[in-house]
Structure formats: structure tokens, C-alpha cells
Amino acid sequence: MHAHIEVVQRSSQRQVDLKLLKQEGGWWDRLTLQPKKPLFLAPDFDRWIDESDAEMELKKKEEERISSISVESRVRKDPFLAVKRGYLFMYNLVQFLGFSWIFVNMSVRLFILGQDSFYDTFHSTADMMYFCQMMAVLEVLNPLLGLVRTGFIPALLQVSGRNMILFVVFGAVEEMQNKAVVFFVFYIWSWIEIFRYPFYMLGCMGSEWKLLTWLRYTLWIPLYPLGTIAEAVAVVQSLSVFDQTQMFALPLPAFVGGSLSFSYSLRLYLILMFLGLFINFRHLYKQRRRRYRSRKRKQQ
């Protein structure tokens, strides 16, 4: 048995610890050359490892390694993850640029023309708003395809509600296109989206900007009710136009005669609009509470 001896001094006056460093690996049959060790010499049993203990330790480490490999093999990595993230990033980028253009255009016109800009909002921004809202249909499909974890119902309610206002109330009724309510509807929509889409873009990159996160989870509190009120005003203003023009009226059977005005459908839609606001409000409130509750836990 060959070993270097390193003396480690301790504060205790009762003992001196000797650390034996082996020159060659292997197991020792005994601690000293003599069959009987001196009485003053004792091994440190807290660090004592014999051959059987070492085998058990190696076996345990091997089992842990095999277990970790089996767990990793069960959790399959998505080979299309980069493609999905790239698609979501580009979608959110395009939507952000579109709504930013609308917002800047309306802000500049408001600064230059004042209230006169209210009455020409549709003709100056409708094409871009059409594009953005047609693209927004993908937000309904993305949860169904498993690309995002957001709920399908809230996305469907928001997209279908906005498209009803844009394509039916504003787009199909020329008398509505020069009303001031168009400005408020478009401006509130833009306010919401110029903060929502950049938040999702950063999420695709695994990054976060605290101020943007706060705006994303806070601005909807005043803006969603204001947007719903503006949309409701637009629907109410269009009722008389649909009654007069009989646009989209539903023909009734011959024995009844006449037709059912589309305005009745819009009256029903007004009720559903505020029901949808309640559903979306509750959904976003839960998201906000979950977000900041988890952050507090991390900080603690």
C-alpha cells in the first residue's frame, strides 16, 4: 500500500485528521501493513466506503441516468417548433405594422385636421383595416391547430364581432362611412393592437419587456369597454338605415308578405355583443391575474 499523507490541522485538541492519498487506484485489504492497527488510529466512518457500498452507489447513478434518458425519450421534441415560431412571429409582425400604420395615419390626420378628420376616417384607412381583419381570421385557426395556447372561443368572439362591424355595418352601408363613430372604433382597435402584437412577437423569441407586458395586461381594462360602447353606437346608428333600405332583409313566406328587416338581427347582436364583452373580460382578467400571481411567486 502506497499513499501520500496530508495532515489537516483542526481546532480540536483531541485528534489529528490524516488524509491518505493513494498513488494507485484499488481497494485496500486493511488500513496498515501490520495485521493489528494501533489503538490511537481510527477510520472516519462518516466517509468510509467499502467495495459493496461503491457498487451500490455506481448502480444507483446508472439507474438515475437510465431513468433520465427514458424520460427525455418520452418527451418528444417538436421538429417543427422553429417553423411554428417563425410563422407566429411573422404574423404578429405584419399585424403590428398594419395597425401601426392605421394608428399613425389617424393620429397625424387628427393633429392636422382636428375634428374634420373624424368624417373621412373610413375612406383613408379602410383598405388597411380590411387587410388586418381578414388576416385576423388566422387567430381563430391557430388555437385549433395547436399553434397557440389561447382559447378558441374568446378569439372567435373578438374576430367575428369586429368583422361584423367592419364589413357589414361600415363596409356595406355607405351612409355609415362618413360618421364620426368610425374614427373612435378604428382608433380604439388600433390602440389595443399596437401593444398586443409586439408582446406576442417578443414571446415568440422567448423575450419580454416589462413595460410592454404591463400595457398588454392593463390597457384592455378601459379600452375593451370603450370599444364595445363605440361599436354599439355604430350599430344603433345603422338600424334606421337598414330599415329604410331593406338591405339584407329576410324574405317572409308569401302568405305573410313583406320581409324581416336586418335591423332585428342587429338588435339581437347588440345583446350578444355585451355578452361577448363579459366573456372576453373574464378571460383577460384571469390571464392577468395568473400572469402576475406567477411573477410574485418567482420573486419570492
| Catalytic annotation, residues | 224, 231
Yes or no: say if 159 and 138 are a contact pair by the CB < 8 Å rule. Answer: no
Number of H helices and number of E strands within the chain?
A: 9, 4
Q: Is 95 left (phi over 0), alpha (psi -120 to 50) or beta?
A: alpha
* Integer CA distances (angstroms), 171 to 127, 158, 220, 221, 233, in order: 10, 18, 26, 28, 16
Beta bridge partners of 19: 6
CB atoms closer than 10 angstroms to residue 21: 9
Scan for cell 483542526, then name that residue: 10
Q: What is the largest CA-CA distance in the chain?
A: 121
